[in-house]
């Protein structure tokens, strides 16, 4: 199955900062209390909130003051110096400062991995690191000094030189980028740092799920999401504040933790309506919860009664919206039994609309796959697994090489299309077709 690129929309605005009517350029400016992804040269990233008068710790790369980045543009390369200050970086790609061209016929046969090839001692390299943290020596100068002290660098091929410089850059460079959180970025971040949180869904699998469900502005979607809100956030990003997303969840409050990292505006978040499974039907507790005792003052009784009635009206309105059905799609990523969910929610999906189910395990989807195949209410049921291979593409050397390591799986997708099954219509159509094609028998041809 071919790789797919996750589409990203630009209609994401922070909760605090530019207003709804501000231009798109102002959305690219970092504001207070926003969440950002701090991407380091080592390939690691850190998800932080920009709280004024605080510092962001980055381990061996040092730290920086939040006040120095508020008001700056996203994606702007910045360099840490003096351990806790940042300044615009002169160049993000250090390869531009080095000559990586190799002699014709160069190869790596005579290169041996030992300590004799580097003239600098371990103490001298540590001293360089200390000077780099103080801002006295740039990462470019450190790498250049290490390369000049290497007796094997000139013997390497062009591709090997590029990899060597990149490896040293990941180790010594203090250039960082503060990126606006997107679904693509958050999915890759959690898949690497905490895959259990998002149920091991990989970015290409998420992209295929969004493509199949055809989520767009104006869509009315039904979702059961146990990926900590990653799929809910992806659907909201596609809807872009114009549509409706209805989520069913356990307990009284949904576990959509990732939703807060997206910095959505109130208009976008307002498209999301949620209802607990325990509130699918009206219970007695909605009308009796918190009733006062006999000796309670009348004012307190009226206040509690008003609150209980408002709560009942709220849940009843949500139930009416759910039971009205006619959803443009159903997305399931739940630990519950998939067949039971399809039986309970499938009829709420409109005709010719998609149904998509995600699970990190194929075995949990096999029964649901047979259910969709045998049901007259669904067609084109498919159970698929995507495959992704990441490639190294050096800018100057031009060659491409696949990475030696890759993830085993990004999860499985079960997809189908919901149809409206009317037996009477099928019978009439079958009769009409048989009458139309009823012709006299032809005489056999002579040889």
Same-domain check for residues 274 and 329: yes
Residues in the chain, overall count: 447
Q: What is the widest separation between alpha-carbon atoms in the chain? A: 106
In a domain, 320, yes or no: yes
High-pLDDT (> 70) share of the chain, %: 73
pTM above 0.95, yes or no: no
Same-domain check for residues 265 and 349: yes
Indicate if the pLDDT at residue 121 is higher than 90: no
Q: Domain end: 180, 206, 234, which one?
A: 180
What pLDDT, on the 0 to 100 scale, is given for residue 166? Answer: 77
Indicate if the pLDDT at residue 8 is higher than 50: no
Same-domain check for residues 130 and 62: yes
Q: What are 351-402's pLDDT values in tens digits?
A: 999 999 999 999 999 999 999 999 999 999 999 998 888 887 765 555 677 8
In a domain, 365, yes or no: yes
- Look up the domain containing 146 and give its range: 32-180
- How far apart are the C-alpha atoms of 19 and 41, rounded to whole Å? 33
Q: Domain end: 154, 180, 206, which one?
A: 180
Same-domain check for residues 176 and 241: no
Phi, psi of 298 (to 5 degrees): -65, -35
Banded model confidence at residue 96, pLDDT cuts 50, 70, 90: low
Indicate if the pLDDT at residue 169 is higher than 70: yes
Same-domain check for residues 342 and 401: yes
Same-domain check for residues 399 and 275: yes
- Report the CATH number that the domain containing residue 383 is assigned in CATH: 3.40.50.150
Same-domain check for residues 325 and 231: yes
Q: What are 299-341's pLDDT values in tens digits?
A: 577 777 777 788 888 889 999 999 999 999 999 999 999 999 9
Same-domain check for residues 226 and 96: no
Banded model confidence at residue 22, pLDDT cuts 50, 70, 90: very low
Indicate if the pLDDT at residue 72 is higher than 50: yes
Q: What are 196-238's pLDDT values in tens digits?
A: 999 999 999 999 999 999 999 999 999 999 999 999 999 999 9
Number of domains in the chain: 2
In a domain, 14, yes or no: no
Would you call 173 exposed, middle or buried from its count of C-beta atoms within 10 A (0-12, 13-18, 19+)?
A: buried
Same-domain check for residues 269 and 383: yes
What pLDDT, on the 0 to 100 scale, is given for residue 112? Answer: 59
Same-domain check for residues 234 and 359: yes
What pLDDT, on the 0 to 100 scale, is given for residue 446? Answer: 44
Phi, psi of 285 (to 5 degrees): -65, -20
In a domain, 431, yes or no: no
In a domain, 13, yes or no: no
What pLDDT, on the 0 to 100 scale, is given for residue 445? Answer: 41
Same-domain check for residues 117 and 253: no
């Amino acid at each position: 199955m071919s790789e797919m690129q996750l589409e990203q929309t630009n209609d994401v605005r922070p909760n605090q900062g530019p207003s709804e009517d501000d231009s798109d350029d102002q959305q690219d400016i970092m504001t207070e209390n926003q969440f950002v992804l701090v991407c380091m040269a080592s390939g690691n990233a850190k998800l932080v909130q920009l709280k004024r008068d605080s510092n962001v710790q980055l381990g061996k790369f040092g730290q920086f003051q939040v006040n120095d980045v508020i008001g700056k543009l996203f994606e702007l390369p910045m360099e840490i110096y003096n351990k806790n200050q940042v300044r615009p970086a002169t160049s993000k790609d250090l390869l531009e400062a080095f000559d990586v061209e190799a002699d014709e016929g160069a190869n790596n046969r005579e290169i041996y991995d030992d300590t004799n090839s580097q003239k600098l001692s371990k103490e001298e390299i540590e001293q360089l690191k200390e000077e780099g943290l103080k801002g006295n020596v740039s990462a470019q100068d450190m790498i250049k000094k290490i390369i000049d002290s290497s007796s094997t660098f000139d013997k390497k091929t062009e591709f090997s030189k590029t990899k060597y410089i990149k490896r040293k850059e990941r180790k010594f460079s203090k250039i960082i980028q503060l990126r606006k959180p997107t679904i693509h970025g958050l999915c890759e971040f959690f898949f690497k740092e905490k895959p259990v949180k998002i149920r091991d869904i990989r970015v290409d699998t998420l992209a295929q799920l969004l493509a199949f469900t055809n989520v767009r502005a104006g869509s009315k979607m039904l979702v059961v999401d146990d990926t900590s809100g990653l799929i809910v956030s992806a659907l909201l990003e596609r809807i872009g504040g114009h549509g409706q997303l209805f989520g069913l969840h356990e307990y009284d409050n949904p576990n959509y933790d990732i939703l807060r990292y997206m910095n959505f505006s109130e208009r976008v978040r307002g498209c999301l309506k949620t209802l607990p499974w325990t509130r699918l039907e009206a219970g007695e507790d909605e009308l009796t919860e918190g009733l006062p005792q006999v000796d309670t003052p009348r004012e307190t009784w009226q206040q509690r009664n008003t609150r209980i009635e408002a709560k009942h009206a709220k849940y009843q309105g949500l139930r009416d919206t759910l039971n009205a059905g006619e959803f443009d799609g159903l997305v399931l990523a739940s630990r519950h039994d998939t067949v039971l969910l399809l039986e309970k929610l499938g009829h709420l999906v409109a005709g010719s609309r998609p149904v998509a189910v995600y699970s990190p395990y194929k075995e949990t989807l096999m029964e649901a796959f047979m259910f969709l195949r045998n049901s007259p209410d669904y067609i084109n049921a498919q159970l698929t697994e995507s495959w992704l291979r990441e490639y190294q593409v050096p800018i100057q050397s031009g060659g491409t090489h696949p990475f030696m390591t890759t993830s085993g799986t990004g999860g499985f997708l079960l997809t189908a299309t919901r149809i409206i099954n009317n037996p009477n219509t099928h019978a009439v159509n079958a009769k009409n077709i048989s009458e139309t094609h009823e012709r006299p028998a032809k005489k056999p041809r002579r040889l």
